Chain A
Amino acid sequence: MPITESDIEKIAQLAHLEITEEEKRAFTPQIADIVAYVEQLNEIDTSDVEPATGGLTAEGEATDSARDDMARPSLGQQTALDQAPDAASGHFRVPKVL
């Protein structure tokens, strides 16, 4: 089913992207082309194939990567807020939610 401008609009909403009309017009055929291209995967019979989840090798899977759940020194509030576009009273300040 070909992708329409309306689909692009919905997807952009989901992704919190406010795209312009011009972008919508440009992206629609491009994304439609790419989706049409990836549909070639339907040629392949994957009925008995396990989906690969993640990129770990066998040795990666075998590596115990858990640590004890203990509090450790972290960035600290000042450092954590240092890159904020707008910080106030130890918080990240943002426009109103509602």
Chain B
Amino acid sequence: MDFFDTDIESLRSHLAAGEATARALTQGALDAAESLNETLNAFLQLDRAGALRRADEIDAAASADEGGQTLRGVPLAIKDNICTRGLQTSCGSRILAPYHPPYNATAIERLKAAGAVIIGKTNCDEFAMGSSNENSAFGPVRNPWDTSRVPGGSSGGSAAAVAAGIVPAALGSETGGSVRQPAALCGIYGLKPTYGRISRYGLVAFASSLDQIGIFGRTPRDIASVLSVIAGRDENDATTANVPVPDYPGEIASDINGTRIGVPRELFGAGLDEEVRASVERAIEAYRELGAEIVDIELPHAKYCIAVYYIIATAEASSNLARYDGARYGFRAEDTPTLREMYRKTRDEGFGAEVKRRIMLGTYVLSSGYYEAYYRKAQQVRTLIKQDFQKAFEKCDAIATPTTPTTAFLLGEKTDDPLAMYLNDIYTCTANLAGIPGISLPCGLSQEGLPIGLQFVGPHWSESSLLKLAHAYTEAHPFTARPKVRASQKS
């Protein structure tokens, strides 16, 4: 029996009914991951020994009280910038290729406590910097829908793993859209939570005021299940908020009648691919039939989000990546007679081009003489962007836009022009700047058969509403298309 492309609820039922063992599910996921890796390059490491050991423990204790382990026996994949004790955590970078963290991220601890089986670590853009997964030191990830194309980034490996049906869900991370964007390009669901909803302890820092762990799934309900497990205050992350965690799966099927969906029409113009626009507008119209009210809203400063983002994120990155110096962990360059040379050569050899570019940009905008002009200015515009959303949310409950301006582009198509690559984040990075949650859901295919994503963002702590909106659409308009490259033998 083929358990690929099966949602978490069904997997749990199969396990409970004895139709599958945790070992069988785990073995299946590992085998699929391995056999598809030459094509997709989604995984950097598979933890066969650890995962099977965990699966066997779960099977052995099957008759014991599960103690509310809602993900018991479910195989998952984790982006390689999230610390997993004893398992390589490279962040897609040569500079951390040798690194095996001595601790688990809080999100990992919580997943394990819920009985999940982590099968391995997924490929990503180096230090989460990228929108195509072409910046990994370990080769690009390919889109399961068309392997000449990118899966999106930076969490491309996790997106590909879920899209190809290898695992039902995976963790990624967001700083400017790195879960929602690849979710859209890979035809799956991707959620970025409110800033402070999920602990960043063990998430390798890129930009501390923007970073959040995000979740990929093939159904909104699966995302809700994972979110319930990992969300919540964590003593180890002072930026997590003391906000109660709702019963996301329990609330997901509630009625969306009367929900006001705001549409910022001015963002549907130049730069947006025509097919994407048409598909997203059709999907928004479909919400009318589901009882939602569509209202026009404005986000006057949204168009500046890339400029704001690439100042703030790079500034914070230049600080966060200062720790990679070859002294205490990770890669150290050879033949460096002095400490200073050790730092410089380690970083030159250890970091890829995009990471260096961003560190330099960040260093520049924070440097004496430029700080006011760039960094402080960007922080002020960030305030304006937050205010735009606050005003908009007086008139609506959620805002709908495309997730990305185009469908998946070709490998190599945008690598010569960093700025063109940055513009992929145009619809997503506002949410990171404002700290608000967002979800991408697949709403159609282009003529070429490539997935198109619709995005909702909502006020702080409105993850439940976003999941409800996604769920309602899925029920009325199921997205049944599947990529060419997949684990499942089912048609």
Contacts and interface: CB of A to CB of B under 8 A. Distances in A.
Interface of A: 3, 7-8, 11-12, 14-20, 23, 26-27, 30-31, 33-35, 37-42, 44, 46, 49-60, 62-65, 67, 75, 79-80, 82-86, 92, 94-98
> Most B CB atoms within 10 A — which of A12, A16, A44, A92?
A16
Contacts of A30: 357, 418-419
Contact of B332 (A53, A64, A85): A85
Contacts of A15: 318, 322, 347, 359-360, 363
Given A19-B348, A46-B384, A86-B332, A41 B360 contact: no
Interface string B342-365: 111101100101001101110111
Contacts of B228: none
Kindly list the 8 A-B residue pairs having the minimum CB-CB distance in the complex, ordered from nearest. A51-B379, A55-B209, A18-B344, A65-B238, A85-B332, A83-B329, A46-B380, A52-B382
Contacts of B307: 37-41
B138 interface: no
A12 B364 CA distance: 9
A77 to B, nearest CB: 12
Contacts of B235: 67
Given A37-B419, A41-B377, A57-B460, A52 B241 contact: no
Interface in B354-409: 356-357, 359-361, 363-365, 367, 374, 376-384, 386
B242 A34 contact: no
B84 interface: no
> Most B CB atoms within 10 A — which of A7, A38, A49?
A38
A63 B364 contact: no
A97 B327 contact: no
B195 A56 contact: yes
Contacts of B194: 57
Contact of B378 (A20, A33, A41, A82): A41
Contact of A60 (B239, B329, B376, B422): B239
Contacts of B331: 85
Nearest to B418: A30
A33 B423 CA distance: 13
